[in-house]
Amino acid sequence: KREAQLNSILATVPDAMVVIDAEGTMLSFSHAALRMFGYEEAEVLGRNVSMLMPSPDREAHDDYIARYLQTGEARIIGSTRRVMGRRKDGTLVPHELAIGEATGGGERVFTGFMRDLTDQETTAARLKELQ
Ligand code: HEM
């Protein structure tokens, strides 16, 4: 039942949302996130969240999580940050990332919400050109 509830949330939530475990392995992926990154669910579940970002974050992301788990010092959790994502086709997608933390059944999970900033930034650039 909880699984069905979670799946219906992931199907309908308007934002791109990704749930990972403490190793960075992706456990859930919302439909909006599949659209934003151009993947099918089977291509992302069980894989590392770092596949969604370009270098140098791609190579460093495991260390970012490890650092947080060791020190407890949050850099993005509790705030938001503009980061760059990388779609399946290799194109980049600027977005605002918010990260939440939860513990479920003794396991630590992180929930990432990603708001696509492409339209906003394209419009801002056009307005600037007009000035
Ligand atoms: C930390 C980048 C997606 C979970 C970080 C940091 C960066 C980063 C730069 C370290 C911040 C610092 O040390 O100053 C990215 C990029 C993403 C992405 C470019 C684009 C796809 C995600 C997602 C999740 C996530 C989707 C969770 C579902 C975490 C966690 C930390 C972290 C748990 C450590 C906690 C913290 O620093 O507050 N990420 N991230 N990241 N990221 Fe990501």
CATH number for 48 = 3.30.450.20
* C-alpha 131 to ligand 1 mean position (Å): 35
pLDDT of residue 106: 83
Nearest CA to ligand 1 atom 27: 112
Domain extent, residue 15, equals 2-130
Mean pLDDT of the chain: 94
Count of other CB atoms within 10 angstroms of residue 49: 23
How many folded domains does the chain comprise?
1
Mean pLDDT of 106-123: 94
* C-alpha 52 to ligand 1 mean position (Å): 11
51-107 per-position pLDDT tens digit: 999 999 999 999 999 999 999 999 999 999 999 999 999 999 999 999 999 987 788
Distance CA 79, CA 96 (A): 10
pLDDT of residue 9: 83
Mean pLDDT of 37-44: 98
Best of 99, 108, 110, 118 to mutate for ligand 1, by most ligand atoms within 8 A of CB? 99
pLDDT of residue 11: 86
Mean pLDDT of 101-122: 92
- Predicted-complex ipTM score: 0.98
Contacts of residue 19, defined as CB under 8 A and 6 or more positions apart, other chains included, come to: 26, 27, 28, 29, 109, 110, 111, 112
